[in-house]
Amino acid sequence: MFFHRALLLLLLAASLAGCGELSRPFAGNPGATARRLAQPPPARLAVPVPTVALLPDAAGAVLADALATALQAQEVPAVAEPPHRGDWRLMTSAELRGAEVVPVFTVQNPAGKDQGAAQGAAVPTAAWAEGAPQTMHGVAESVAPNIASLLGRIEAARRQSDPNSLVNRPARVFFKGVHGAPGDGDTALARQLRTQLPELGPVVQDTASGADFVLDGQVITEPIAGNMTQVEIEWRVDDAAGHECGRVAQLNEVAAGTLDHYWGDVAAAVVQEAAAGIRDVILNQSGARHPGS
């Protein structure tokens, strides 16, 4: 989603060795304190130097830089550059209102069509004309949250109006399976994933045709001190073009040999935790998550 706030999703399962039954080492809520949502934005917001904002060129350049920096702090992928093909744009203008100047920031899509505008705080005409860096930075920092909110509303409206948007249909996930687990882990984990993930909404398929996302599971085991085995399970979600959207990682320690043959209930517990995280990656990437959900 364009401008949706979020970074890599990582669910790190806390070590449960010695805390509960060894047959269910991944049960419980291991990721509650380590969950972090994120996704890389798929487009840029270009912030060119304004030419119709009643500012000297030098002040306009300072304002463009300050806007880009303030928007980056709002997790908007803004750059203080002329727009390139495919870029969204933030165009700055200004209106004289009595003894004050009101800056106006208009969002345009890559075709150059206006999508919405946010007003900045009024500035005394003399201060605006002077264009001091402190004034420009103050304007940028005060208006950046409003611009970020506007971008979110623009994107939500766009998705709601698109019948093919993932807001309006379930995501299709090409599941490539699980690799690297000892015993029957690859098969057991894959079977549980194909059963549990669809219950949360996504459609799981075994071919890449028509898929919105690609899911791959990887298991790495390593012997550690105390006759224990460290088990790391990572579920990676890519988009259809192969760009990473997010990951769900689970880390635990079990007694050596516990998973060498049959995973049984362990596979069900692992996937119960992982499926919710995978769903969260997909929801945040697709923009289908509603505020507060």
| Residue 141 domain-assigned (yes or no) | yes
pLDDT computed for residue 49 by the predictor:
97
| Residue 18 domain-assigned (yes or no) | no
Q: Would you say residue 35 has pLDDT above 50?
A: no
Q: Are residues 274 and 181 in the same domain?
A: yes
pLDDT computed for residue 44 by the predictor:
86
Place of tokens 């705080």: 121
| Residue 277 domain-assigned (yes or no) | yes
User: Residue 275 belongs to what domain range?
Assistant: 172-286
Q: Would you say residue 6 has pLDDT above 60?
A: no
pLDDT, tens digit (0-9, with 9 covering 90-100), for 86-125: 889 999 999 999 999 999 999 998 889 898 999 999 999 9
CATH number at residue 222: 3.40.50
Of 127, 161, 195, the domain-final residue: 161
Cβ-proximal residues to 136 (8 Å cutoff; 6+ apart), any chain = 59, 62, 63, 66
| Residue 204 domain-assigned (yes or no) | yes
Q: How many whole angstroms separate alpha carbon 114 and alpha carbon 212?
A: 29
| Residue 11 domain-assigned (yes or no) | no
Of 105, 129, 161, the domain-final residue: 161
| Residue 76 domain-assigned (yes or no) | yes
Q: Where are the beta strands (DSSP E) in the chain?
A: 45-46, 78-79, 88-97, 100-108, 114-119, 123-124, 172-179, 203-205, 213-224, 228-239, 244-255
**Closest by CA position to 250, among listed 265, 234, 271, 264:** 234
pLDDT, tens digit (0-9, with 9 covering 90-100), for 208-252: 999 999 999 999 999 999 999 999 999 999 998 898 989 999 999
Q: Are residues 187 and 154 in the same domain?
A: no
Q: Are residues 90 and 157 in the same domain?
A: yes
| Residue 218 domain-assigned (yes or no) | yes
Residue 191: Cβ within 10 Å count = 16
Q: Are residues 49 and 154 in the same domain?
A: yes
What is the residue-averaged pLDDT of the chain? 82
Q: Are residues 228 and 278 in the same domain?
A: yes
How many domains is the chain partitioned into structurally?
2
Residue 115 near residue 90 (C-beta atoms within 8 A): no
Q: Are residues 183 and 219 in the same domain?
A: yes
Q: Are residues 183 and 215 in the same domain?
A: yes
Q: Are residues 154 and 182 in the same domain?
A: no
282 versus 6: the higher-pLDDT residue is 282
| Residue 20 domain-assigned (yes or no) | no
Of 118, 134, 161, the domain-final residue: 161
pTM of the model: 0.50
pLDDT, tens digit (0-9, with 9 covering 90-100), for 122-161: 999 999 999 999 999 999 999 999 999 999 888 777 766 6
